[in-house]
Amino acid sequence: MSRSRICIALLATLTLCLFSSTSADDVVVLTEDNFEKEVGQDRGALVEFYAPWCGHCKKLAPDYEKLGASFKKAKSVLIGKVDCDEHKSLCSKYGVSGYPTIQWFPKGSLEPKKYESSRTAEALAEFVNNEGEEALAQQCDASSRPRLFSQRLTMASNETHCLVGFLLIGSLSLDERR
């Protein structure tokens, strides 16, 4: 496993441990009225399309709330959910045929990428960090790489810059630290 993947995994795990207290409003409730105002704008969005009666959705709910809590203060990421019983047309528009369906909407786009990996808070956080990192990497050239790491930390960890920053900075080459 590469150093960057190990660092991302550590970041995701640490983030979830530090922000394990959640509340019901940590995940943004999306509707037909607010979906396009929240998603596809100036931040990436991970959206769960769910049905309240679905057993798999009920099982995912605590982990998804933890994910929402860990990214709540992040300005570059939205964690949201859509109740497909109440908003059938929205779910149909995005090709939802089973529950839960989790999709990533890159910054500035309403074209989703389907999430098809593990449904744990740690795996979801790693996915969001990876997607966010790719978007930031496209915006930053090699000379601004330290800024890239700073933005990635802000995206998921909010208040843990020092500890997590140490882990990520430790993975940079000597040339990148200067």
> What residue ranges in 54-157 does DSSP mark as E strands?
77-83, 101-105, 113-115
Q: From the candidates 7, 57, 84, 91, which is the catalytic residue?
A: 57
Other beta carbons within 10 angstroms of residue 92's beta carbon come to 11
Other beta carbons within 10 angstroms of residue 117's beta carbon come to 10
- The 3-state DSSP class for residue 46 equals strand
Say if CB 125 and CB 46 are below 8 A apart. Answer: no
162 catalytic per annotation:
no
Write the secondary structure of 165-178 as one string of H (helix), E (strand) and C (coil): HHHHHCCCCHHHHC
Residue 115 φ then ψ, to 5°: -90, 125
Q: From the candidates 7, 17, 54, 162, which is the catalytic residue?
A: 54
Q: Is 24 exposed, middle or buried (0-12, 13-18, 19+ CB in 10 A)?
A: exposed
Cα separation, 178 vs 174, whole angstroms = 7
7 catalytic per annotation:
no
Q: Cite the active site residues.
A: 54, 57
